[in-house]
Amino acid sequence: MAKAVTYALGVDVSTFQADIDWTRVAEAGARFAFIRIGDGLTKDSRFERNWIKAASVGMLRGVYHVLRPDRDNQAAWLKFVLGDKIPELGVWSDIEVAGLDSERCARFLQAADEQLGMTVDIYSRAGFLNAMGELPWAVVRKLWIASPGTATPTLPAAWHDWEFWQWGQATIDSRTVDVNYYHGTAEELAQRYRPVAPDDHWAALFARLDRIIAKLNA
């Protein structure tokens, strides 16, 4: 499952993997997991199970939501479904559905940032993002790039670096899962995305704001 590099390994999952065995996922070397919370305004039927089970084996968790061009109030819906959960890897917008354009994405992302009190980051493919033209909202958002089967990730024009890379697939517990790298070692992953205790939540938000300001001033 792992390649001969130092990048930390992880998976992304949804209802399509059914009731995957998270112990086997951890035994395969995964240190983190992106868990689908929903598609448009439809909650992923296994989100709650995956959220709990991934934590039970020490997995750092991110949440992703598939953005739809023809659904209203997706940001408010996302806030409602996430509730008081705090994903260690943050919340990511899956932008790859036909009909999305830069303006629609901007409206959702601004609303989601305000609803959640955090910066929502981006999952997509280079070709899809490039086809949308100018992406003024990209500058403050990290990139989880889908670039399977390449020696290095193919990046969209709006980004010069990647945070996570979906690079292929593996079979775990008789289920096919997408596998990902963090752009750093397992130790660096743990240091940057350490679990956030409830009392630490505001400190985490301010730290994230500091990183955004530093990026804007770079």
pTM as predicted: 0.87
Nearest to 163 by CA among 52, 20, 38, 8: 8
Instruction: Give the tens place of pLDDT for each residue, 76-129.
Output: 999 999 999 999 999 999 999 999 999 999 999 999 999 999 999 999 999 999
Please report the pLDDT score of residue 191 as a whole number: 93
Question: Which three-class secondary structure string do you get for 152-189?
Answer: CCCCCCCCCCCCEEEEEEEEECCEEEEEEEECCCHHHH
Q: Within its chain, how far is the Cα of 95 from the centroid?
A: 11
- Give the architecture-level CATH label for domain 8-217: Alpha-Beta Barrel (3.20)
Is pLDDT above 50 for 200? no
Going from N- to C-terminal start, the domains of the chain cover 8-217
Q: Residues 62-86: what's their mean pLDDT?
A: 97
Cα distances from 198 to residues 37, 57, 114, in angstroms, run 21, 20, 19
